[in-house]
Amino acid sequence: MQCPACALERPPDATICPRCNSDLVEPQSRVDYPRTPQEPPQQWTVISSPDRPTRMPRWVLVVAGVAVLAVLGTGIGYAVGRGGTTNGAGPQAGPSGTVPAAQPTIPTRPAVRQQATALDALITSSKATRGKLGDALNNVEQCQNLAGAATQLVQVEAERYAEIHQLQALAVDALPGGASMRDELVEALTYSMEADQGYADWARALSGGCVAPAGHDRNWQTADVASQKATDAKLQFLSAWNPVAATNGLPTRVDTDL
């Protein structure tokens, strides 16, 4: 067979022409296979079976999904509103970056009773002090034992001072209106202490001798004004204290108990 390009007689079994390097392999004839006609898409027929559950309508699934989302949204909103915690780490910051304020602690009943009892004990001590004051003033009015009466009045003043400091250290946060009630009693005892000091000065001024009934000088008048202010403050305190005392099974008081 000759080379189709240069007509050189090709060597047997040669696939490339030694002269022109042309391809000597004869191309295979093209085979046309008959096309298979395309089948139309198969039609499927749905056959209902009495043993097969009926498919739920689409609108039912939509309504159920909306209800679930509403429940989840309510739960998330409640958790955010409560300032939920994470792993016990405490209140979490809200969208504005602020942490919700801690709720105030409600006092327990034993704490109320304990604080009320402590305050009542101080009132009892104040009543004993007032008794010493009355004895000393009677002696001065009768011009009897003036030196002893003056010493006793100084002692009463010192006891008032100690009661004021003891009262200021008392815990009253569990009592209704405890802080303002304590302040009113401190004010009352402070005026009483000023009155005690004036009465002691009055007794010392009469120590040189007097005729009963003893006259009332400027010291006595100063003491009497302070005593009246003390009475007004005591009544203000008692108006708040007596309901608390009654609620806790403690005796109610009058101004002469202070």
Residue 90's closest CA among 105, 100, 76, 78? Answer: 100
Question: Within 10 Å of residue 119's Cβ, how many Cβ atoms?
Answer: 23
State the pTM of this model: 0.58
Report pLDDT digits (tens) over 185-196.
Answer: 999 999 999 999
Report pLDDT digits (tens) over 148-174.
Answer: 999 999 999 999 999 999 999 999 999
pLDDT of residue 149: 92
For residue 185, the one-letter residue type is L
pLDDT of residue 46: 44
For 93-112, what is the mean pLDDT?
Answer: 63
Mean of all residue pLDDT scores within the chain? 79
Report pLDDT digits (tens) over 116-134.
Answer: 999 999 999 999 999 999 9
Q: Which is more confidently placed, 25 or 207?
A: 207
| Lowest model confidence (mean pLDDT) among 23-37, 108-122, 146-160, 211-225 | 23-37
For 190-208, what is the mean pLDDT?
Answer: 93
The domain segmentation of the chain, as residue ranges, is 110-257
Place of tokens 């093209």: 30
- The rounded percent of the chain whose pLDDT value lies above 90 is 53
Q: How confident is the model at residue 8 (pLDDT cuts 50, 70, 90)?
A: confident
Distance in angstroms (rounded) separating the CA atoms of residues 156 and 160: 6
Q: Each residue of 149-174: b (16+ CB within 10 Å) or e?
A: bbebbbbbbebbeebbeebeeeebeb
User: What are φ and ψ of residue 91, in 5° steps?
Assistant: -60, 140
pLDDT of residue 136: 94
For 41-50, what is the mean pLDDT?
Answer: 48
pLDDT of residue 94: 52
Distance in angstroms (rounded) separating the CA atoms of residues 143 and 94: 76
With a cut of 80, say whether residue 105 has pLDDT above it: no
With a cut of 80, say whether residue 66 has pLDDT above it: no
pLDDT of residue 45: 47
Q: How confident is the model at residue 220 (pLDDT cuts 50, 70, 90)?
A: very high
Cα dihedral 53/54/55/56 (nearest 10): -110
Residue 129's closest CA among 103, 164, 157, 109? Answer: 157
DSSP 189-236: HHHHHHHHHHHHHHHHHTTT---SSPP--HHHHHHHHHHHHHHHHHHH
pLDDT of residue 15: 77
Q: How confident is the model at residue 96 (pLDDT cuts 50, 70, 90)?
A: low
Helices (H), the chain: 58-81, 109-141, 146-168, 178-205, 218-247
pLDDT of residue 20: 78
- β-strand partners of 23: 16
Q: How confident is the model at residue 47 (pLDDT cuts 50, 70, 90)?
A: very low
| Lowest model confidence (mean pLDDT) among 4-8, 28-32, 174-178 | 28-32
Distance in angstroms (rounded) separating the CA atoms of residues 207 and 142: 12
